[in-house]
Chain A
Amino acid sequence: MQTYDLESEGLRGLNSTLQKQSGETNQTNWQVINPKGSHAIAVGLDAPIEVTVKGSTGYYCAGMNQQATIKVEGSVGPGVAENMMSGQVIIDGDASQYAGATGHGGLLVIKGNASSRCGISMKGIDIVVHGDIGHMSAFMAQAGNLVVCGDAGDALGDSLYEARLFVRGSVKSLGADCIEKELRPEHYEILKDLLDRAGSDAKPEEFKRYGSARQLYNFDVDKSAAY
């Protein structure tokens, strides 16, 4: 286990050290102490290493992650795991706005709540939130799965493309072109797998599925108010 003290050794050193790790490294376990809400912790990693952040972080933690597993023992600020490609990011506490935005792959687990715009423009990432999510989540989401064990806020899935949204609790309102859809056997499989990997004991049959009505894909003057 390698320990990095962010307060005394600085952010640039942390990210350049972690970014230098390759698939062959034997330094596979890292912990970051004294994060104290700093921004851009553990970004741009591209090796199958495990990084544990011992405390809460600021903006853009674990951005652009590939392969690495990053755990935060605290809460995270805006834009956690933004544009993740692969790997896993696990947050013990809450996440601020636009968690997992534009992510292409990998798994983001938030054990507390996520606030507004969770999964905005997601492009293939899987996101599991154990608590609630805020308004405008999955806005223009294109691919991937967003699983919410609690409730969803206003305008869920507005202008949605092909991402799948699963919500166990209530949905305050659906956004334009987002509708409830049938939960078919293949969806139970996806849900079960994601809930298992995210350490949630919620049952797939307790969820509802939401997706795109596919009415806004092409411009239609009769629907101009909905764009």
Chain B
Amino acid sequence: MCGIVGLFLKDQSLAPQLGNMLTDMLITMTDRGPDSAGIAIYGEDSIGKTKITVQSPNADSDFVGLAEELGKGLGVAVTQTDNDTHTVLDIPAGQFEAARSILAEIRPSVRIMSRGENLEIYKEVGLPKDVADRFNLSGMTGTHGIGHTRMATESAVTTMGAHPFNTGSDQCLVHNGSLSNHNSLRRKLRREGVTIQTENDTEVGAAYLTWKMMNGATLGEALQSSLDDLDGFFTFVVGTKDGFGVVRDPIACKPAVMAETDQYVAFGSEYRALVNLPGIEDARVWEPEPATVYFWSHNDSPTSQEKAA
């Protein structure tokens, strides 16, 4: 199963409530994925900075003096903002790869959840409600966000196996379904130099899109080619710095409902996830077509671009 929710705000006056609305949607999808949950949230621009969200099973010891030590290693000022098992490290832009190798040395048990100018990812094993509570997800603000509730099929129930997955700056992916050619594709992508941290099928899907975009594809083009190159079942929701996209495989067994008003575009695996959104009674509600790429961007004002590819 698995549940997906997504919310893209057109009306930024809703930004302070983004976390609150997404959390309600996420918890409603508990029935579809009670074993782990995660959220990717796109907050304020940190111009000239990269945010690295890291997680540790030993947060109490690992996070002590982490920013200071990392800053010393990089020779720059680094700050950290702790949130339960996660902390967000703010480093100067362009230093991510250096920071990744220093982190591996100074804190071997710390795992990188995400990096980007705006993106933060929080995910853990447990009921969506408990995961939301421990990170206070409902208090978060932002322009858009994606959440996932997991019922594991293709890899173990672990923090690293939870969604969303981040494989490139400010990119993230959540998935309902299962990919069947992920092992061969993982080997190929690793040879191409893409970092893949787990044996999870979805991370390979995310890495595939990152690889396509590294080679000059737009997100729309990358999603379009995923229809040819990925085998298996999928409904994907993809986040980028500017917006989010949706694509379903041609068979389209995995459910998807979308709603759009003047204020937002929302995605849910089921309509239930959307029922508490403001103005849902008058929203345009529809099921995204199979094998069709949809994308909404904050740059395409006033109305976003549908079926971009």
Contact = CB atoms under 8 A, between A and B. Distances in A.
Asked if A and B are interacting partners, one says: yes
Contact of B255 (A56, A75, A96): A96
Nearest to B270: A58
Contacts of B278: none
**What interface size band does chain B fall in?**
10 to 19
Interface in B169-207: none
Task: Sort chain A's interface into a size bin.
Answer: 10 to 19
A77 B255 contact: yes
Contacts of A119: none
Max chain A CB contacts within 10 Å: which of B255, B270, B271?
B271
B275 A75 contact: no
Interface in B268-286: 270-275, 285-286
Given A96-B287, A134-B290, A135-B290, A75 B252 contact: no
A203 interface: no
A93 B251 CA distance: 23
Contact of B286 (A39, A58, A94, A97): A94
Given A97-B252, A116-B290, A135-B290, A75 B272 contact: no
Nearest to B287: A115
Contacts of A38: 272
Nearest to A57: B271
A94 B309 CA distance: 25
A37 B285 contact: no
Nearest to B276: A36
Given A78-B255, A97-B252, A58 B271 contact: yes
A58 B272 contact: yes
A50 B285 CA distance: 26
Chain A CB within 10 Å — which of B251, B272, B273 has the most?
B272
A23 B134 CA distance: 53
Interface string B245-263: 0000011110101000000
Nearest to B288: A115
A135 B253 CA distance: 11
A143 B250 CA distance: 27
A39 B271 CA distance: 10
A163 to B, nearest CB: 22
Contacts of B251: 116
A36 B271 CA distance: 8
A179 to B, nearest CB: 24
B290 A75 contact: no
A77 B272 CA distance: 10
Given A37-B270, A56-B285, A94-B286, A116 B252 contact: yes
Contacts of B275: 36-37
Contacts of B286: 94
Contacts of A96: 255, 257, 287
Contacts of A115: 252, 287
B105 to A, nearest CB: 49
Interface string B227-258: 00000000000000000000000111101010
Nearest to A78: B255
Contacts of A56: 271, 285
Given A77-B255, A96-B255, A37 B287 contact: no
A37 B272 contact: yes
A77 B270 CA distance: 8
Given A56-B285, A75-B285, A116-B252, A37 B274 contact: yes
Interface in A190-223: none
Contacts of A57: 271
Interface in A23-57: 36-39, 56-57
Q: Which 9 A-B pairs have the closest CB atoms?
A: A37-B272, A37-B271, A36-B275, A115-B287, A37-B275, A56-B271, A58-B270, A58-B272, A116-B252
Given A38-B272, A75-B285, A134-B289, 5 more contacts: A58-B270, A58-B272, A94-B285, A94-B287, A134-B252
13 contacts: A37-B270, A59-B270, A75-B271, A75-B285, A77-B257, A94-B286, A94-B287, A96-B257, A96-B287, A97-B252, A115-B287, A135-B250, A135-B252
